[in-house]
Structures are given as C-alpha cells and as structure tokens.
A and B are shown apart, each in its own frame.
Chain A
Amino acid sequence: MPDAPAIAVHDLHKLYGNNAAVDGVDLVVPRGCFFGFLGPNGAGKSTTIRMLTGLIPPSSGSIELLGMPLPERELEIKRRVGLVPDESLLFDRLTGAEFLEFVGRMYGLARPVAVERAQSLLDLFELRERRKLIAEYSKGMRKRLAMAASLIHHPDLFLMDEPFEGVDAVGARLMKDILLDQVRRGATIFLTSHVLEVVERLCDRVAIIDKGKIVREGSMDELRGGTESLEDVFVRVVGAGREFHELEWLR
C-alpha cells in the first residue's frame, strides 16, 4: 500500500500494572515526513517507539507501519525499518565493520554487499579503526555506529530515539545532513529528541506527548503560531514554572 501513511497508530495503550505509560495515543505520520515526537522525561516516548518496533507488545490498540499491521506482518515491516534506539544495542566484542556486516546480513543483504556497504558507512562516519572493538568506542562513536547500522539496509522508515545524544557537532551535522537526504529520497523519519532547536530545524511535523497522551500535534508552523519558539510551546504545553525559588537552601 504505497499511499498508506508511514505510521498509523490508533488508541494505543501500554499499562504497567495500574500505571499507563501510553494512554490512548492516536497518531498518523505521512510518508516522506520528518516527524518530531517530543515529550518530557517519562512521558511515554521511548515506550511508544519500542511498541512501534515490536520490542514490546501494546496492552491494546493498533499499529500499522508502511501500510502493514503489526504484529501480523512483523518480519516484512522490520525489513523496511531502520532503528536508532536510545541505548546503543551493539555487540561489544565485535569490531565496527563486523557489526555492520552482521546487521546487513540479518536484514537479508548478501555478504559481499553487506561488507561493501559496511566499509562505506565506516568511512562516512569516520569509524576507520578497523581492529578496534566496539567495547572500546566512546559514547559518540557508538551512536554514530548505531546510525550507520540503521542505514545499511536502506530502509523506508527510520525510528530514532535521541539519535544525536552524545555526538559531537561534526558528527551531528553529518547525521542531520544524511537524514535530510533520506527524507528527500522519500523515506520517513520519526524522531525523538530533547534538543528542541534540532527538532525545530529538521522536522516538518511535531507531536508532543505528556503523561502518555498526545497533547499537541500539527505542522511546525501550526504549533508555533508564528510568534513562539518550539521551546516556548513545549514548556507551555507540558507545564513548567517549577518554583525553585521556594527552596531557600538552594539560593
């Protein structure tokens, strides 16, 4: 279904005991969209992404990715999705090249293709120390490698949880350029980030989740209303003004 939205989520719930981490989320992300998914800590962003990737099952509700229902067509969906998770899911005892080749072949690439793409991506992301184990990588290098791994099978949809966290300015710039290029070729990007300036610059649509519910959704211009910055909107919507001045000992 080429016309179906990249992500269509209906009445999604995730309960932990009596606690609703995600509470009735409805979301439609059109194809070719750079979508920002924002929320304060613990709002339900990572839980939503984990449900979209099939890592955890929803308590109720439906998920369709690229026009295919999850979990019924799980394997087909996974083949077309690239993921950069919040924690780096890397095998520490492999080198960067070995890991990328592993991921490529897990996504069905032939070995020579996986090896070649792995090498190109390592060069692109400046991870050229061939013999270095991932265990010895810095946090930023791990993130860059995770980003490279998400690209190797040329997916149609990217799910990215804090992809720029811990990455230096040069690496972040490179990653942003690559992502914008992916959107230009028609891929969809679903991104969470706490760096609102980045979201403001990259994304064309945004949803804000708080306490498991979507509290705002729309295009960037709709949300900002022409006068406010994204940060102002975000702070206003999720509630700010915590009165630290009341803490006498902190002054």
Chain B
Amino acid sequence: MIRAMLRVQWLSMRFSRLASGRGALFSVLIAVLWYGFWTMLAALAEELTAAPQLRQQILNWLPVGLLAVFGYWQLAPLASATMGASLDLRKLLIYPVPRQSLFWVEILLRITTCAELLLLLTGTAIGLVRNPAFGGWRTLERVPLALVLFAAFNLMLAAGLRNLIERLLSRKGIREVLALLLMLMGVLPRLLMATGVSANRIERIFPTASNPIWPWGGAAHFMLGPAAGIAKAAAVLLSWTTAAYLFGRWQFTRSLRYDFQEAQATPASAKDHPFADRLYRLPSLVLPDPLCVIVEKELRSLVRTPRFRLVFVMGFSFGLVVWLPMMLRGRVAHSAVSGNFLVVVSLYALFLLAQVTYGNAFGFDGSAAQLYFLAPVAISRALAGKNIAAAIFIFLEIAAVATACTLLRLGISAGTIAEAFLVAAIAALYLLGVGNLSSVNYPRPMNARRVSAGGGAGRAQGVLFLLYPVALLPVFLAYLARYAFDNQAVFYGVLAFAAALGVAIYWMAMESAVAAARNRRETIQAELSRGEGPMVAE
C-alpha cells in the first residue's frame, strides 16, 4: 500500500519533470550544489570526529553539535516556509488505508527535509567509530544505534510539529503572530548578542546541552560514555524517541480529523468593511479600466491569501531582525549595511515578495488565470495590472519597515526613507521585468490556503535568486559611485540612468513576456491547472 502511494506520487511528478529538460537540468544542478556542500561538511565532520588528539573537544562539543542539528532540523523548514513533502490526506482518506501506514509514509517523507542532516550524522558516526580514543570499532554497536535513535526522534518530532503548526497556521489571525514568534526564536540569540548581551552569557547555556537528560546530550553520552552512564543515556534517548513517536502520532491523528476549511470559513456574522472597500477602490482615482479592475482584484485577493500575508509579514519583520544586529553593531563601527539599513531591508523585502507576487504572477489564480486569455483584454494589461498591485505592496512593505525603524529610534531620516523608496522603485523595474518573464515561462499553481510554498516553486525561485544580484547591479553601481566620488549628485545621476535603463528593460521584458504568453498559452494553462499526486511537495 505504501509502495502504491509512493509510486503514484512518482508518476504524478513524472510529467512535469519530463516537460522541461532545462528545468530538470537546473534542479539537478541545484541539488548537486546543495548536497555537495553538505557532503563536504559531512566529510569534515568525519575528519574531525576521527581525530584521537581532539578527544576532549569532541566530548565537549558533540552534544552542542547535536543540539545544532536538532535546531536546524526542527526550525529550518518552518523558518524558510518550505515544509517538504507531506500527505494530501483529502485524496487518501477515501481509501481503506490504515492510519498507521499513512503515519509511516508521513515519517518517511520527513526525510525530504533533512537528507543533508542524515549525511552529516553519517559522517559523524563514521568518524567516531574510526576514532581509537573512544574504543574504535568496539563502538560499532552503540554509535550507529544512538544516531539512528536521534534521527528517529527528530523525524517524528518534526512530523508532529509540522502537523501542529500547519493546523495553527490555518487559523485566521494566529498564523501571522505564530510566524513572527517562530522567526524571532531563530534570530533571538544573534539579536541578544548584538544588543549587548555578552557572548559568554550565551555560551554558558552550552554546558547544559551536554546534560544527558536532553536527547542530544543522551545521544552523545550513549555514543561516547563514560561506561557507567551508557545504559542511563540509552534509556533517556529511547524515552525521548518514544515520546516523539507518541507526539507525532497524536498530532497526525488530530490533523486527520481537523477540518481546515472550517477553520478558514468566513463567519456568518462577518460584516462589510466599507472603509476597506474604499481603500481597494483607490486605484480607480488614477487608473482606467480594465487596468484598474485588475489592480483592485489583485489587492483584494492577495490580502485574503494566507500565504501572501505570511510572506508580507516576514518581509519587513524578518528583514528587520536579520539586519538589525548589523545595524546595531554599525553604531560602533560604520559598515555598508548600517549606513544603508533601510535600503537593504527594503531590497530584501522586495526579493521576498517575488515568490507570492511578481515572480509567479498567475500562481494564486491557478486555472482561473485562463480568464485573462478569455476576456477581451490584452495580456499585457493583465501583467501590468498585477505589476502595479505588486508595486503597491512593495511600497507598503517599505512604509512598514520605515515605521518600525522610526519606532525603534534607529535614527532614520526622511531623506533616507525617500532614498529607500526611490532605490526600491528602480530595483523593482528590473525585478518586475524579470518576474513577468518568469511568470509566463515558469508558471506554477500556488495553493492560497497553504502557508508554505507550492510544489515546484523551487526552480523559479532559484532563477530569481540567480537573477536578483544582476537586477540590482545598476542600483549597486550608484552606491559604488557615491562611495568612490563621495558625491550625492553623482549618486543621483547614476540612479537616474539606472531608472531610464530600468524602464527600457521593463518595456522589453513586457514585450517578450506578452509574446511568450501568446505562444505558450496552452502550456501556461496546463501548468496552472496541474493537479498533484497524493502528496504535495513544499
């Protein structure tokens, strides 16, 4: 039964893989780079843990390393909003599949989010087994067993957390707060260090990491001894693994019974919001139809899309918190980031919004995007309307960042805010041009209800990621000119040139995107209407 499910998922994915040779090549290239990097890290871990002269350091740092693995394992998929493959229960619940089988498939699928960590643990295990300072090959029974239990603990905990968080995120109002909290958890240590808490005080936490009562401490003690504590450490690790199994099963069963639709339904008591409606209608003051109605539609739809709202919140909060430590350090030693903090955060927000707006403009429309081909409106209008809506959100994002900076009293002047808007607007010209090309050449449906990225998002995101530095080059040149000549006039001169070039590039990209939309309309519609197998890759 499990094999049948995995096979049908493979068959479902086959079409999209075969559909684009370039896409497949790009995916393979990214995978080789990513896993190559982790294989190198695993080899390094093997080298270090196999060195007998590092015995004491290994004893001190192995629990800390396992704690780091635990942290990455549990938090990375949440922080990056890519939660790996999971079962689409709606499609499988109609079959007589035992829930236990579904749970084990879910656990197996968690491996897609942690293959790199399994590589790292394998490298560590091989090194430890080879290290004569810990008994060499005599540890062959304990070391792999400890790491397998530690991996199983992480896998089942991650599965449980995923189900729990997905349910929480489906509730209106909770998801944005939860996303903010999760993100703060990830960057809090860095922020504390940057705001004056000494590194020593943070490092003092680490000795408690080696306490065998924790799963990472238990795993380290089980592997390395001392002999008297091995049985106790094994029992602790086994207990944690059992607890993680029970937690994972519990959360899985609750998710099976959970009605996501009910959680997201509009309450019967919901009232009209005339003020919000007036805001949505503001574009009609300056834009004619059909451009105006497309912008209005985008504004309304995106604001109601959980995935978009999450990314929008992350856009200013994550950027702010990630770059804030550098800004605060910059008060002591001036740096490029601290000097242009608001611009950096605005450009970061601009990049983050790509995945939910201009990078895949028809993604949330799905098969309904066909309406743009059916209506008596040129496709260039649809793209332009979507671009205007994206630009509105980009400027709102910058306004939110500027407000936050003002509230945090970061000494941001009105001139800096104006500069951030100007630079972001110019950079947006290039990125919207690239986004339009990406939207018609790599369209993919996105599930508005799911808070993590839709299947197949990786390739187009990768393309944008590679093109982002190129698109920012003209703006970067302006800053370089200001640095080299120490002259504002030169800076604004280069920016003006970048803006003119940006308009020309946007125009050419739009022409090209319209031609591609005309030639590829069948493929675009097919891609946007594409269903998925019994599992969804996120």
- Chain A residues packing against B (C-beta within 8 Å): 53-57, 74-79, 83, 85, 87-94, 98, 101-103, 105-108, 111, 130-133, 135-136
Contacts and interface: CB of A to CB of B under 8 A. Distances in A.
Contact of A78 (B266, B370, B375): B375
Interface in B374-403: 374-378
A167 to B, nearest CB: 19
Nearest to B366: A92
Interface string B278-301: 000000100001101110110011
Nearest to A131: B270
B266 A106 contact: no
B368 A136 contact: no
Interface string B453-492: 0000000000000000000000000000000000000000
A105 B376 contact: no
24 contacts: A53-B374, A55-B374, A55-B522, A56-B521, A56-B522, A83-B374, A89-B368, A89-B371, A91-B368, A91-B371, A92-B366, A92-B448, A93-B304, A93-B448, A106-B371, A108-B289, A111-B289, A111-B293, A131-B271, A133-B266, A133-B304, A135-B448, A135-B449, A136-B265
Contacts of A57: 521-522
Nearest to A77: B376
B15 to A, nearest CB: 13
B293 A106 contact: yes
B297 A54 contact: no
B289 A92 contact: no
A137 to B, nearest CB: 11
A126 B378 CA distance: 33
A104 to B, nearest CB: 9
B301 A91 contact: yes
Interface of B: 261, 264-266, 270-272, 284, 289-290, 292-294, 296-297, 300-302, 304-305, 364-368, 370-371, 373-378, 448-449, 521-522, 525, 529
A106 B294 CA distance: 8
A98 B375 CA distance: 16
A83, A90, A91, A131 pick with most chain B CB within 10 angstroms: A91
B272 A130 contact: yes
Contact of B376 (A55, A78, A133): A78
B38 to A, nearest CB: 38
Contact of A79 (B265, B292, B367, B376): B376
Contacts of B301: 91, 93-94
A76 B378 CA distance: 12
Given A54-B373, A105-B290, A92 B368 contact: yes
B272, B289, B365 pick with most chain A CB within 10 angstroms: B289
Contacts of A101: 293
A23 B381 CA distance: 34
Contacts of B304: 93, 133
A90 B371 CA distance: 8
Contacts of A102: 293, 296-297
A75 B381 CA distance: 13
A54 B406 CA distance: 52
Given A91-B301, A136-B266, A106 B377 contact: yes
A93 B364 contact: yes
Nearest to A106: B375
A92 B306 CA distance: 12
B209 to A, nearest CB: 45
Nearest to A87: B367
A55 to B, nearest CB: 6
Contacts of A76: 376
A98 B297 contact: yes
B509 to A, nearest CB: 23
B522 A132 contact: no
B290 A106 contact: yes
Contacts of B272: 130-131
Contacts of A105: 289-290, 292-293
A197 B449 CA distance: 39
Contacts of B365: 91
A55 B297 contact: no
B266 A132 contact: yes
A108 B376 contact: yes
A74 B376 CA distance: 8
Nearest to B270: A131
A12 to B, nearest CB: 16
Nearest to A99: B297
Contacts of A56: 521-522, 525
A108 B265 CA distance: 32
B367 A89 contact: yes
B270, B271, B302 pick with most chain A CB within 10 angstroms: B270
B368 A90 contact: yes
Nearest to B364: A93
Contacts of B292: 105
B304 to A, nearest CB: 4
A85 B265 CA distance: 26
A53 B368 CA distance: 15
B516 to A, nearest CB: 14
Given A94-B300, A102-B297, A108-B376, A55 B525 contact: yes
Given A74-B376, A106-B289, 17 more contacts: A54-B374, A57-B522, A85-B370, A89-B371, A93-B302, A103-B375, A106-B376, A107-B375, A107-B376, A111-B289, A131-B271, A132-B266, A133-B266, A135-B264, A135-B449, A136-B261, A136-B265
A93 B305 contact: yes
Contacts of A106: 289-290, 293-294, 371, 375-377
Nearest to A92: B448
A79 B378 CA distance: 12
Contacts of B449: 135
Nearest to B373: A55
Contacts of A93: 300-302, 304-305, 364, 448
Nearest to B377: A106
A87 B364 CA distance: 16
A106 B297 CA distance: 11
B2 to A, nearest CB: 26
Nearest to B302: A93
A83, A106, A132 pick with most chain B CB within 10 angstroms: A106
A79 B261 CA distance: 36
Contacts of A135: 264, 448-449
B116 to A, nearest CB: 35
A107 B377 CA distance: 8
A134 to B, nearest CB: 9
Nearest to A105: B293
* Interchain residue pairs A-B with the least CB separation, the first 7: A78-B376, A93-B301, A105-B293, A106-B375, A79-B376, A131-B270, A93-B304
